[in-house]
Amino acid sequence: MRQCLPLVGTLIVASLLSGCTLLPDREPLPPPVTSAAFQARIDRLEDAVTSRCVTGLQTRLDQQLHQHQALSADVREVGSLLRQLRGEVAQRDRDDAEPQGTRQCSDSQTRLGNKEILGRSEWIGLPEVGTYLKARIDSGATTSSLSATEITRFERDGENWLRFKLGLNDDDAVVDSVRDNWIEAPVERRVRIIQASGEESRPVISLLMTLGPLRETVQFTLNDRTHLDHPVLLGRRFLMDITVIDVAEQYLHERPEYPGGRPADEAGADEAADRDELAAE
């Protein structure tokens, strides 16, 4: 038994010395990350995050712009309806204040049933501009037209707008203080005009207009009419269902008055040339 003990000890020591070779090999350590590789990885992460943020922000901006445009259109429509309502209330107040006999006499001269009688030329008012102008009544034209020059396009709140001046001659009757004023309005649409000289596209805007007792928001195409006798043409889109035209008459309705303009009872001097033209025909 004693002879076996040295042999056992020898076997134990040999096992301990050889046991390390039985352990599994360790995985090699990854190479160290260089500063350039680290920076490249950070740049890729930044690009990914930035792209995601920009895409989300642009989508939100587009949604807000669409909502703003819809809201602006609703506000303009409500404003137009409110102006018309105020005009109807003001006209009703004037009718209530006018003596009954006078009103019946006036109605018999300028109304036919529920329609207003217009001559071949009439005075119109543009309350938002602050002036009166001569208008040619033309049922052959679809859309009304306003003489304009220096028409400039620009963008406001994501919408297309126009800035322009009234296209007038020196002898055109107008409130002088607005002759060179800039007028701004949103573009409602564009129309194609076919003439003997060819086709052209014209912008359309809306302006509040008065003609006698009528008070309507009217769509006007803008183009230079300085070579014509009247800076305004009223087409059948406005005339339909509310007027009757008597081509043998002119200026059946009184010229509106505006601050800085001449009194209505002095309009005869400005109408004389048109009356002479009618008499010559």
Per-residue pLDDT tens digits for 176-230 = 999 999 999 999 999 988 777 777 889 999 999 999 999 999 999 999 999 999 9
* Tens-digit pLDDT profile for residues 126-146: 999 999 999 999 999 999 999
Write the DSSP assignment of 17-72 as a string of letters: HHHGGGSPPPPPPPPPPPHHHHHHHHHHHHHHHHHHHHHHHHHHHHHHHHHHHHHH
Chain center to CA of 14 = 97
Question: For tokens 């203080």, what's the residue?
Answer: 177
Q: How far is residue 54 CA from its own chain's centroid?
A: 29
**Burial class (CB within 10 angstroms; exposed 0-12, middle 13-18, buried 19+) of 249:** middle
Residue type, 20: C
Name the pLDDT band for 61 (thresholds 50, 70, 90): confident
* pLDDT recorded at residue 88: 62
Q: How far apart are CA 119 and CA 106, in angstroms?
A: 15
Band (168; pLDDT cuts 50, 70, 90): very high
Measured distance CA(118)–CA(95) in Å, rounded:
20
Q: pLDDT digits over 267-278, tens only?
A: 999 998 776 665
Does the global pTM surpass 0.85? no
Q: How many residues are recorded in the chain? A: 281
